[in-house]
Chains A and B, each alone.
Chain A
Amino acid sequence: MKVNETIIRDMYLSMKKIRAFETTAMNVFAEGKIPGFVHLYIGEEAVATGVCSHLRDDDYITSTHRGHGHIIAKGGDLKYMMAELFGKSTGYCKGKGGSMHIADASKGILGANGIVGAGHNISVGAGLSAKYRGTDQVCVCFFGDASTNQGTFHESLNLASIWKLPVIFVCENNNYGISMSQERHQAIRNVADRGAAYGIPGITVDGNDVFAVAEAAEEAVKRARSGLGPTLLECKTYRHRGHFEGDPGSYKPAEEQAEWLEKDPINRLVSYMKENDVLTEEGIRELDAAIDSEIEAAVKFALESPDPELFRAVEDIYDNITEEVRVR
């Protein structure tokens, strides 16, 4: 893959935006300003960024409970995301979905998902749709290592393979399914090995190297667009935080954490940029400042937005039916 300054700059912007959004979400959650659960993508930014660098607005993605990064990389609007985290009426889902259910049909984002492995099946449907309509759209299905033990993984890779659907199955192998490490939850080290079972390419890359991810994704997207079918792309990465905020992650050995912090994907990209004179220290500061003000504006938007009106709870269940309201 040929990279130029614009591409690298865009990659940095995407990764840093994800990091900044997640750090802010972490802080406002800790301050008790947002309810529910938050699953942060910190440490995995290179995966969504590298893969989505090859996607168009009309391509699809399915996401997971740890979905903020995918949505940002696919072009989601930080204001509407943040407002949704706050449960406000101006959020992507009008406050009905929250962190785990953000979707944006206009950007092909078919939703974060609270059910581990559910996106596998949905991505196959989106792939069928693209192929059936004769477009060259693709669908990227993001999922974690632990979801590959769900039946949906098997069903979906099998069907996508026999129908040669334009789906790229991107496994973010962060080595944990909540508290259970990969060596405890499956007997193989590389999820990509499972590609062989479906007669499709299975590729493992360093998921903290945004260029490696982007290069592998480019090939997989090209395959999908040209009708050659799905690819299983495994990106080895690590989540810096717990499964959700509030999980101290005590099951992760200290040495392992230190080792992966060394491999932080953003620091690696920054080193690359400095070594190769892509961006100066000052250039980076300018980009960071722009991201910070976008995040600040998103938080302000969320804080100033109204709560949903209560009667809205009975809307949007059906296209043409509004359920009864509560009478008090």
Chain B
Amino acid sequence: MKKMTYGEAIREGMSIRMREDKDVLVFGEDVGAFGGCFGVTAGMFQEFGEERVRDTPISEGVIIGCAVGAAATGLKPIAELMFIDFLTVGMDQLVNQAAKMRYMFGGHISLPMVVRLPAGGGVSAAAQHSQSLEAWLTHVPGLKVVYPSTPQDALGLMLSAIDDKDPVMFIEHKAMYAQKGEVKDFVPIPLGVGEIKRKGSDVTIIATGKMVHEALAAAAELEKDGISCEVLDPRTLYPLDKELIRTSLEKTHRVVIVSEENKRGGYGGEISAMISEEYFDLLDAPIARVGALNTPIPFAVCLEQYVLPNAKDVVNAVKGIL
């Protein structure tokens, strides 16, 4: 058992594999001696050297494209984008190349690559550095998408992401890097396996990323009113652990879906649609969704807090369907 931060856990996941496997390397903007914009790769340059922890110019397209070419030819690259928002600049390489190569080429090429994507708001980084773009990624066949909410999950999912033979989008919430937690297992957490973060019997709250903690706070609050919430963290957005969702709904028959994305077109909507199509019979109440307002993320602290979802919104949503 070890206490480490979310950022340290991501670093430890990468480092474990890099110590074992020379084919794993990291590159991105300022990931070298500088240690990464959020300090996630700090110390890796010293441990693994400049060949394996490589600074790139500010060229997001070729950062992702370089990972594609390297993965197609035998390496297991981990590419870091400084912010998930910068995906827009490299989207062709991700969507038209990384995601489609295996399929277009008839299954003959594997792309074992990880793209690390610091996401989310809450740090007054404003509209171009705070987005939650889960839906863009989960929409594309060929990508796997994970979103850990704790240091333990971050470490275990990073190991699986590196081991996987497909492009894995590793979403990290930037406001959680300093959050500490217990890490007791240093083994892979399989992709597609969610976890019940809190057991309950009245309502299932499905939450992702930092929203897991808002959901847990809401559950603690609701307990005071005698309402028992089960908090379910899918951990992997695609492939989604539908079985865990079904099992939980068989018990609670009510669900609130919480995502930091702005609601319109968000992945939370996809989970909602899936539940209503496949598990409608299990429901005793309409599905409720909690998300950010449909705005760009504003700068001022008060405005940003107003736009982003929080525990209070979750409490209200749960009460609304009881």
Interface positions of A (Cβ within 8 A of B): 60, 62, 91-97, 101, 103-105, 110-111, 113-115, 118, 120-130, 132-133, 139, 151-152, 155-156, 158-159, 162-163, 315-321, 323
Contact A93 B105 (CB under 8 A): yes
Contacts of A113 in B (CB 8 A): 97
Contacts of B62 in A (CB 8 A): 120-121, 124, 152, 155-156, 159
Contacts of A315 in B (CB 8 A): 107
Contact B69 A125 (CB under 8 A): yes
Contact A101 B104 (CB under 8 A): yes
Partner of A124, one of B66, B92, B110: B66
| CB contact under 8 A between A158 and B73, given known A111-B104, A115-B96, A321-B239 | no
Contact A158 B239 (CB under 8 A): no
Instruction: Give 1 or 0 for each of B133-155: 1 = CB within 8 Å of chain A CB.
Output: 00000000110100000000000
**Distance (Å) between the CB of B65 and the closest chain A CB?**
2
The 4 closest A-B pairs by CB, nearest first: A125-B69, A121-B65, A316-B107, A93-B106
Contacts of B59 in A (CB 8 A): 155, 158-159
**Distance (Å) between the CB of A87 and the closest chain B CB?**
12
A247 to B236, CA, bound (A): 46
Contacts of A320 in B (CB 8 A): 165-166
Can you name 4 extra interface pairs (CB under 8 A) apart from A105-B109, A115-B96, A315-B107? A91-B106, A103-B108, A156-B62, A159-B59
Partner of A125, one of B67, B104, B107, B110: B67
B111: nearest residue on chain A (CB-CB)? A319
**Distance (Å) between the CB of A296 and the closest chain B CB?**
24
A101: nearest residue on chain B (CB-CB)? B104
- Of A93, A110, A129, chain B has the most CB atoms within 10 Å of the CB of A129
Main secondary structure of the interface of B (DSSP, over half): mixed
**Distance (Å) between the CB of A3 and the closest chain B CB?**
31
Question: Does B181 make an interface contact (CB < 8 A)?
Answer: no
Question: Does B188 make an interface contact (CB < 8 A)?
Answer: no
**Distance (Å) between the CB of A112 and the closest chain B CB?**
9
Contact A126 B65 (CB under 8 A): no
Residues of B72-131 at the interface with A, using a CB-CB cut-off of 8 Å, are 72-75, 77, 92-93, 96-97, 101-110
Contact A93 B104 (CB under 8 A): yes
B239: nearest residue on chain A (CB-CB)? A321
Contact B70 A128 (CB under 8 A): yes
B99: nearest residue on chain A (CB-CB)? A317
Partner of B61, one of A93, A121, A133: A121
Partner of B69, one of A95, A110, A158, A162: A110
Contact B97 A132 (CB under 8 A): no
A84: nearest residue on chain B (CB-CB)? B106
A129 to B64, CA, bound (A): 14
Contacts of B101 in A (CB 8 A): 103, 111
Contact B57 A162 (CB under 8 A): yes
**Distance (Å) between the CB of A167 and the closest chain B CB?**
10
Question: Does B51 make an interface contact (CB < 8 A)?
Answer: yes
Contact A118 B102 (CB under 8 A): no
| CB contact under 8 A between A318 and B65, given known A115-B96, A126-B73 | no
- Of A97, A104, A123, chain B has the most CB atoms within 10 Å of the CB of A97
A115: nearest residue on chain B (CB-CB)? B96
Contacts of A105 in B (CB 8 A): 72, 105, 108-109
